[in-house]
Structure 1
Amino acid sequence: MAKRPHQVEHVAPGVARLGDESVNFYLVEAPEGLVLVDAGLPGHRGQAEAHLARDGRTFADVKAVLLTHGHPDHTGLAATAQDAGADIWIHEADAPILADGPRSAMRHAKPERPMISYVLRRPSAFAGPLHMARLGGFTAGPVTGVRTFDAEQRLDAVPGRPQVVPLPGHTPGAVAYHFPDLGVLFTGDALVTRDGLTGHKGPCLVARGFTHDTAAALASLDRLDTLPAATVLPGHGPAFPDGPTAATDQARKYGLH
């Protein structure tokens, strides 16, 4: 069931988790302005607008949207924010997914395994894609005119000056965003704490049914190990307060599925 607007969760100072039990996206309040990390599904628009309105704000107050990757459950409100004036940031390898629309995601980042293999073993695995469809995940239009990067760097033009950390694997352009002053690390789907296909709860890689290159995704965990202590805020599942190294240790123990 989708979260109601009043169920927005404050997961760190200046950081609110929006979305629902299946999908996370985040509103960051930096001294220089508001930032969205990922953009949920189109059906989350009312929740986001209601949350902003509590502080007398609208989407026009969002300065930037940082997309961890191009999958449609993370990009649904990107066009809404862009129309209101926000810059949309994404790794150049995933920008074609945005430009071609959400139905192109499987073509640009084909998963290693068919989803049906998970559904046959665990019928509830189909709940995630069905939820995406119900909240308009496959109906959003293309998004162009975005700002891209192709390597690790600090985004000085974005409030909070986050560090981009490329983590290819889930998609070719998957990244994390580290806000050192806030002590938070947004990992998107490069590392999650809930996998809808397998039902696993705890830090892990997303299953092969939704991941383009699991060997690369596993290798990307090594980069997370080098980051300083921070609360890990994933694209799916609850916050993980024990830092990236503890999260990657659990992910490696769980392995590839």
Structure 2
Amino acid sequence: MSRRTQPDRVHQVAPAVERLGDGMVNFYLVDHPDGLVLVDAGLPGHLGQLREHLARSGRSLHEIKAVLLTHGHPDHTGLVTAAQQAGADIWIHEADAAILADGPRSAMRHAKPERSMFPYLLRRPASISGPLHLARMGGFSGRPVHGAHTFQGDHHFDEIPGRPQAVALPGHTDGTVAYHFPALGVLFTGDALVTREDMIGHTGPSLVSRGFTHDGAAALSSLDRLAELPPALLLPGHGPAFADGPQAAATQARHMGLH
């Protein structure tokens, strides 16, 4: 088994929710009686991991009903093509749909960061590990994706197993959202709020640095919206789960500020 599959990175983080990915990137499998749902889709190099994990319980990609993307960056969309070809519906906020349609190399054009990453690399050379990992795992090799379903603002998905709710939290990208599964008590925050920020070397609730954030003022404002959400286990795109709820997470992230 290749190191790229990294099966040791798969573990249950909540009832009916499994975390996949690796030490830098999270994506999640929701195992609902009505079907499987992926929240975010990792990197292309995670495909073997997902296939093997499903196979161990007698399942396959064809049982994934939907993929809910928190935003369009390539470390969250790498398995979209494989899931779509297996029959899954792909969902993304309308404001990030162009990133999918134009391919992963378009991400910086459609959601240009506020700052160059080079000052971060100079201050903390170890932060180069993030971009290098993305490249090694095929983050820039994905193809354009057509036929994704889009939505605007907040959205209730009555047709998707678990009946999740999308909450618009723009800033990291214009189309960044979180997904709340009320019956499961979980909130998938993507990169609207993370608990690991490699560019500055921080662990704990925070915003993604300006080197990868499109609109810092909007990202800070979205923390107010996040703080208003019901108590839930926060499952971010990067870093460990946060059990103290959205309000505490938003407070800590605001205290950290935007770097």
Question: TM-score range with shorter-chain normalisation?
Answer: over 0.9
Give the letter for the 2:31 counterpart. Answer: E
Q: What's the counterpart of residue 145 of structure 1?
A: 147
Q: What's the counterpart of residue 198 of structure 2?
A: 196
Q: What's the counterpart of residue 248 of structure 1?
A: 250
Q: What's the counterpart of residue 22 of structure 2?
A: 20
1:222-241 → structure 2 map (5 Å cutoff): 222-241=224-243
CA shift, 1:89, in A, is 0.2
Q: What's the counterpart of residue 215 of structure 2?
A: 213
* 1:2 and 1:20 in contact (8 A); partners too: no
What TM-score, normalized by structure 1, do the two folds share? 0.98
* 1:5 and 1:46 in contact (8 A); partners too: no
CA shift, 1:162, in A, is 0.3
Q: What's the counterpart of residue 99 of structure 1?
A: 101
1:1-257 → structure 2 map (5 Å cutoff): 4-257=6-259
Give the letter for the 1:34 counterpart. Answer: L
For structure 2, the residue ranges without an aligned partner over 5 or more in a row are: none
- What do residues 129-168 of structure 1 show as CA deviations (whole Å, max 9, x unaligned)? 1000000000000001000001212111111010010000
Cα distance in 1 for partners of 2:166, 2:247 equals: 18
Cα distance in 2 for partners of 1:198, 1:171 equals: 19
Segments of 4+ in structure 1 off by > 4 A?
A: none
CA shift, 1:2, in A, is 5.8
Shift in CA distance, 82/188, structure 1 to aligned 2, threshold 3 Å: same
CA shift, 1:31, in A, is 2.2
Cα distance in 2 for partners of 1:211, 1:126 equals: 17
For structure 1, the residue ranges without an aligned partner over 5 or more in a row are: none
* 1:2 and 1:19 in contact (8 A); partners too: no
* 1:170 and 1:214 in contact (8 A); partners too: yes
Cα distance in 1 for partners of 2:221, 2:50 equals: 34
Residue aligned with 1:187, SS: strand
CA shift, 1:7, in A, is 3.1
Give the letter for the 1:188 counterpart. Answer: G
Cα distance in 1 for partners of 2:101, 2:5 equals: 29
Cα distance in 1 for partners of 2:159, 2:143 equals: 26
* 1:111 and 1:208 in contact (8 A); partners too: yes
* 2:5 and 2:48 in contact (8 A); partners too: no
Give the letter for the 1:150 counterpart. Answer: Q
Shift in CA distance, 240/3, structure 1 to aligned 2, threshold 3 Å: farther
Cα distance in 2 for partners of 1:145, 1:65 equals: 13
Shift in CA distance, 254/134, structure 1 to aligned 2, threshold 3 Å: same
Cα distance in 2 for partners of 1:180, 1:224 equals: 15
- Alignment RMSD: 1.0
Cα distance in 2 for partners of 1:158, 1:217 equals: 27
CA shift, 1:6, in A, is 3.5
Residue aligned with 1:93, SS: helix
CA shift, 1:201, in A, is 0.4
Cα distance in 2 for partners of 1:242, 1:32 equals: 29
Cα distance in 2 for partners of 1:6, 1:208 equals: 31
Residue aligned with 1:203, SS: strand
